[in-house]
Amino acid sequence: MAAEAGWFFATIFLTFLGLLAITFMIGRVVPIDPVLAAVGDRASAATYEAARQAMGLDLPVWRQFLNYVWGVFNGDLGTSISTGRPVAADLARVFPATLEMATIGIIIGVVLGVPMGVIAASRQGSLVDQAIRVVGLLGYSIPAFWLGLVGLALFYAQLRWVGGPGRLGIFFEGTVPPVTGLLLIDSLIAGNFGAMRNAFWHLVLPASILGFFSLAYIARMTRSFMLDQLSQEFVTTARVKGVPERMVIWRHAFRPIRIQLITVIGLSYAGLLEGSVMIETVFSWPGIGNYLTTGLFNADMNAVLGATLVIGSVFIFINKISDVLYRVLDPRAR
Amino acid sequence: MATTRDWLLADSPTSRTQAGAGRLYRLILGLLSNPLTVLGLFIIAVLVTTAIFADLIAPYSPIRQNLSVRLQPPSWEYLMGTDALGRDIFSRVVHGSRITLTIVLLVAVIAAPVGLLVGAISGYFGGWVDRVLMGVTDIFLSMPKLILALAFVAALGPGINNAIIAIAITTWPAYARIARAETLVLRNSEFIAAVRLQGGSAARIIARHILPLCTSSMIIRVTLDMAGIILTAAGLGFLGLGAQPPMPEWGAMIATGRDYILNQWWVATMPGIAIVIVSLGFCFLGDGLRDVLDPKNGESK
């Protein structure tokens, strides 16, 4: 067990180092000269050289990489040139907005996706099954940003069912003191139910769109896990014994797949953090994805790499955790 | 007619040609038995035809501007309406099929062989070669693809070539995993041992005997990945990092329609519909191919 835990942390550490190596390399090949950006193009050669040495850019590459890794482990991601603040502080500020949206999204995905997959599997080949299959494939075929735009045109501009871009209407802007950064919870703490309703009104469309993509994946995987179980002999035995079909499906077939589902849900949660990049751009949602794309447009490489690093780390972490959970919970894999 | 059929479906083919033709015939029969797969094949066929004959199909130039007819709604004259610069959206979508097809083919041509080779070498040699190569593969696999592609394009600079390279960099690891798994099974089989006894070198065994046997699972996976590649490319185009204007790339076209989405919905909607249809086509085809070529290996994404 101790060896396994050691191996687990070793792989996480190595993968994280790999991620750092990639962001470091990307940062190095960028055609923007960081020294020039800092001192301006009118600086003398001596000033330029001094700044270059102060920034550690005259050191050999491996030393630069060590410095970079050391900085990241101490929470130093550099300074954003567009906000003029440390990237780490910026990211901490914008992260809750993404977290809130992705969490509501995954709840929608699980609550709808799992039953859909179970129903599809229990009526394999039927029209319902085909319909759910197509919904699942649509989740792989629709560009998230396009669905966001069409959703805005339809539900916001035409039907007025939901709020527009952003997290809050102008009227409520600044009325909620930030505690957790999650607007739904903060407004509840403050007892500001008007703001809470407004926040929900803005959140519902982007979160539903994210939810649709996780629903597609979860339903597809649930269906295939269930098909596996339903073809097992103990299911046939239960049926022969006269157990009602509903009991067969939910108690005999569904129970064993819960472990596999945890892995799938974990992976799709991580996937939503990534999916939120496009959605946030469309909805002007002030989260980490929006921060990343804004950084891209402003050639703000520190911001881009910092956001990449954070999303990548969360992604890796959730990936590995669901891997481990799977092994701990599944008695066969022990 | 029946005799041709019998020849194709013979249980004991007498020549290599007959065996090959028979296998192809069975594959096609299998594919045609599923309506969704047929639909997928049809969509891909239409895409390819459109891309080849784009100049003949498109009624207008995809890039010439005509400001007197800007933002016209869909009509018989302009099937999908016109955009803010008075360009016919239908003609642009038709020409865009070329760009989409190019991206998809180039990514497949770059990423699949790289993954195949890395996976086969890793699986064949085992030991520390395997550990190093799969370590690198796993690092790439456990990272978010879109974000990685974004960061790469940000570094390499926007443009369609760099977008293709960035997407290829993020797609090969999955292929390496598959090729390795297949190679591990094949490595200890008797016919490989026979070749080795005859003095076949490792390079020869991998190239002539292992790689050909990995292709069918590779084709399935590549087809299933096509939708994801199209979406990533469109996403990069939408953010202005992929194809540059005035190229009629579908994602970039959606971006130009973004400012008009509330009143002139068609500008952004039409290219998106093209993306959805083409991606769905690849998904249907990939699903069908998997059912026929690899029935035991159900869902694995």
pLDDT tens-digit readout, B77-107: 888 888 888 888 899 999 999 999 999 999 9
The 10s digit of each residue's pLDDT in A204-224 is 999 999 999 999 999 989 998
Check CB contact of A141 with chain B, cutoff 8 Å: yes
pLDDT of residue A108 exceeding 80, the answer is yes
The H or E element containing residue A298 is none
CB contact under 8 A, A143 and B157: no
Check CB contact of A127 with chain B, cutoff 8 Å: no
- Written as six digits, the tokens of B69 are 């007819």
Check CB contact of B39 with chain A, cutoff 8 Å: no
Q: How confident is the model at residue A38 (pLDDT cuts 50, 70, 90)?
A: low
CB contact under 8 A, A30 and B261: no
User: Hey, is B82 helix, strand or coil?
Assistant: strand
Distance in Å, alpha carbon of A85 to nearest chain B alpha carbon: 21
Q: How far is CA A76 from CA A79, A303, A327, in A?
A: 8, 12, 35
All residues of chain B having their beta carbon less than 8 Å from the beta carbon of residue A224 are 298-299
Side chain identity at residue A158, one-letter code: Q
Instruction: Find all residues with CB under 8 Å of A274, minimum gap 6, and list them.
Output: A311, A315, B144, B145, B146, B147
CA distance A103 to A107: 6
Let me know the angle formed at the C-alpha of B65 by B60 and B71, rounded to the nearest 5 degrees: 90
Q: Considering only CA atoms, which of B222, B249, B17 is closest in space to residue B111?
A: B222
All residues of chain B having their beta carbon less than 8 Å from the beta carbon of residue A14 are 135, 139
All residues of chain B having their beta carbon less than 8 Å from the beta carbon of residue A11 are 138
Distance in Å, alpha carbon of A289 to nearest chain B alpha carbon: 9
The 10s digit of each residue's pLDDT in A227-286 is 888 888 888 888 888 888 888 888 888 888 888 888 889 888 888 888 888 899 899 888
At residue B296, the pLDDT reads: 54
**Which of B145, B150, B265, B287 to substitute to test the interface with A, most A CBs within 10 Å?**
B150
ipTM: 0.84
CB contact under 8 A, A30 and B154: yes
- Written as six digits, the tokens of A221 are 């995987």
Backbone φ and ψ of A86, nearest 5° = -60, 135
Residue of chain A nearest B281, judged by CA positions = A141
Check CB contact of A19 with chain B, cutoff 8 Å: yes
The 10s digit of each residue's pLDDT in B220-232 is 889 888 999 999 9
Average pLDDT, stretch A72-99?
Answer: 86
Contact B200, B263 (CB under 8 A): no
Check CB contact of A138 with chain B, cutoff 8 Å: yes
Bigger pLDDT: B278 vs B145? B278
- Written as six digits, the tokens of A78 are 């550099």
User: Hey, is B157 helix, strand or coil?
Assistant: coil
At residue B41, the pLDDT reads: 92
Q: Give bridge partners of residue A86 from the DSSP assignment.
A: A79
CA distance A329 to A331: 6
CB contact under 8 A, A141 and B156: no
Whether pTM > 0.90 for this model: the answer is: no
- Written as six digits, the tokens of B295 are 């029935």
Looking at chain A from residue 295 to 314, which residues have their Cβ under 8 Å from any Cβ of chain B? Answer: 296-297, 301, 304-305, 307-308, 311-312
Contact B116, B179 (CB under 8 A): yes
CB contact under 8 A, A18 and B139: yes
Q: How confident is the model at residue B184 (pLDDT cuts 50, 70, 90)?
A: confident
The 10s digit of each residue's pLDDT in A272-315 is 888 888 899 899 888 898 998 888 888 788 888 888 888 888 88
Average pLDDT, stretch B176-181?
Answer: 88
Q: Say which of B144, B152, B157 has its CB closest to residue A312.
A: B144
Q: What is the overall mean pLDDT for chain A? A: 84
The H or E element containing residue B241 is none
Residue-range domains of chain A with CATH: 2-73 (no CATH), 87-333 (1.10.3720.10)
CB contact under 8 A, B238 and A14: no
Residue-range domains of chain B with CATH: 90-300 (1.10.3720.10)
% of chain B at pLDDT higher than 70 = 97
CB contact under 8 A, B148 and A312: yes
Q: Give bridge partners of residue A79 from the DSSP assignment.
A: A86
Check CB contact of A132 with chain B, cutoff 8 Å: no
Q: Say which of B139, B152, B261 has its CB closest to residue A149.
A: B261
Contact A122, A116 (CB under 8 A): no
The highest-confidence range among A60-64, A114-118, A151-155, by mean pLDDT, is: A114-118
Check CB contact of B254 with chain A, cutoff 8 Å: yes
CB contact under 8 A, A301 and B138: no
